[in-house]
Chain A
Amino acid sequence: KAGVTQTPRYLIKTRGQQVTLSCSPISGHRSVSWYQQTPGQGLQFLFEYFSETQRNKGNFPGRFSGRQFSNSRSEMNVSTLELGDSALYLCASRASMDRLSYEQYFGPGTRLTVT
């Protein structure tokens, strides 16, 4: 079974621009979560989507948004990029919302650099 895929793998943007990152979950997985990883803050939860609905959200400004499509693929958007948004953005998927599916698997990540 193929794993979680993310595109693009690397991205360089300029301050003030916006960016869209894409994630395809493991086949059959319906939940997608997004995380930001930086050396200083570690791994931080951004949001989770299930059945095209945002189920939970972390403590990030409204510039960070996401959506999920009917095929469970998800996109994350960051508007008005700031230097501090430079990070590894990770997508993770799990099978469903029930307790037996609490195990979450990560994609390879998108390395975003803001200059």
Chain B
Amino acid sequence: QKEVEQNSGPLSVPEGAIASLNCTYSDRGSQSFFWYRQYSGKSPELIMSIYSNGDKEDGRFTAQLNKASQYVSLLIRDSQPSDSATYLCAVNSGGSNYKLTFGKGTLLTVNP
């Protein structure tokens, strides 16, 4: 059973701080990795994708991938109350037969 693990949280940070969200996965052959944000009562929204080891930055978001450690993380700089949501880590464990496996999500709360 291919698994994706995340701390369920809640993770609480003050406004302006850096929020760090972590994810580990079990399938060493996984090739593509994603972070989705889901507000309460809404559907997941893609915020970052990463395919190679290292860092990928997009605005206030940085995704980090370490395939040797089977670890993906998301950093949110200058956190805002509007960032308060559940963050879902997703891993394509199906290769060319696309199949996203999701973690249970980490609830992030940014306090004003």
Contacts and interface: CB of A to CB of B under 8 A. Distances in A.
A70 to B, nearest CB: 20
Interface string A25-59: 00000010101000000111100100000011010
A31 B99 contact: no
Interface stretch (B10-18, B20-28, B39-47, B72-80): B39-47
A105 B49 CA distance: 12
Contact of B42 (A99, A104, A105, A108): A108
A42 B43 contact: no
Interface in A67-115: 88, 90, 94, 97, 99, 102-109
Interface residues of A, number: 24
Contacts of A33: 98, 100
Interface string B68-112: 000000000000000000001010101011111111110000000
Nearest to A107: B43
B94 A43 contact: no
Interface in B48-70: 49, 51
Given A42-B103, A43-B88, A43-B102, A106 B45 contact: yes
Interface of A: 31, 33, 35, 42-45, 48, 55-56, 58, 88, 90, 94, 97, 99, 102-109
9 pairs of A and B residues whose beta carbons are closest in the complex:
A43-B102, A106-B43, A56-B97, A42-B104, A102-B32, A109-B43, A56-B99, A106-B44, A108-B43
Given A33-B98, A97-B96, A102-B98, 8 more contacts: A31-B98, A35-B100, A102-B32, A102-B49, A102-B92, A103-B34, A104-B98, A107-B43
10 contacts: A31-B98, A33-B100, A35-B100, A43-B102, A56-B98, A58-B99, A97-B98, A106-B44, A106-B45, A108-B42
